[in-house]
């Protein structure tokens, strides 16, 4: 563990996963990566339909950021009309075990979270 701490920078708040959470778990990033991982290379419109509810502007912004972070690759084909496709990179695919762990945790614990919320909401305590 000490070796890990010396090979990467720990944010000022002392939580080593904060930078990863900021990169991977922003509002639309996870669904985009999930869909590209599940369905492979996609054209913009097809990806937008798979993600559902995302605007073209936001999808464009998120894809640019994911490309900048090295998690998504963009391929442009020089034809009329121009064709652009997006696919998850090896770096992006390396997040699959993280997502799989979250699915497992969700399957095991989400009902408990819902029950805890219901219990909290039924009490006299104010909502957070």
Same domain, 81 and 99: no
Same domain, 65 and 100: no
Same domain, 15 and 75: yes
Q: Which domain holds residue 59?
A: 2-89
- In whole angstroms, give the CA distance from residue 5 to residue 2: 5
pLDDT of residue 125: 78
Same domain, 84 and 39: yes
Same domain, 102 and 69: no
pLDDT digits (tens, 9 = 90+) for 30-53: 999 999 999 999 999 999 999 999
Same domain, 55 and 73: yes
Predicted TM-score (pTM) of this structure: 0.78
- In whole angstroms, give the CA distance from residue 13 to residue 71: 25
pLDDT of residue 1: 40
Same domain, 68 and 103: no
Same domain, 59 and 117: no
Same domain, 60 and 120: no
Our count of domains for the chain comes to 2
Same domain, 74 and 101: no
pLDDT digits (tens, 9 = 90+) for 82-110: 899 999 999 999 999 999 999 999 999 99
Same domain, 119 and 83: no
Highest mean pLDDT among 22-26, 71-75, 122-126: 71-75
- In whole angstroms, give the CA distance from residue 48 to residue 62: 11
In this prediction, residue 3 has a pLDDT band, given cuts at 50, 70 and 90, of very low
Same domain, 59 and 7: yes
**CATH assignment of the domain containing 7:** 1.10.10.10
**Strand 42-43 versus strand 72-77 pairing type:** unpaired
């Amino acid at each position: 563990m000490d070796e890990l701490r010396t090979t990467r920078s720990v944010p000022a708040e002392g939580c080593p996963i904060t930078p990863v959470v900021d990169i991977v778990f922003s509002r639309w990033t996870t669904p985009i990566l999930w869909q590209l991982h599940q369905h492979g290379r996609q054209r913009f419109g097809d990806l937008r339909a798979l993600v559902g509810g995302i605007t073209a502007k936001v999808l464009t912004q998120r894809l640019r950021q994911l490309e900048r972070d090295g998690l998504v690759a963009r391929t442009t084909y020089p034809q009329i009309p121009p064709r652009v496709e997006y696919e998850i990179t090896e770096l992006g695919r390396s997040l699959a075990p993280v997502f799989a762990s979250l699915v497992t945790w969700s399957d095991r614990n989400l009902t408990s979270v819902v029950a805890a919320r219901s219990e909290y909401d039924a009490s006299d305590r104010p909502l957070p």
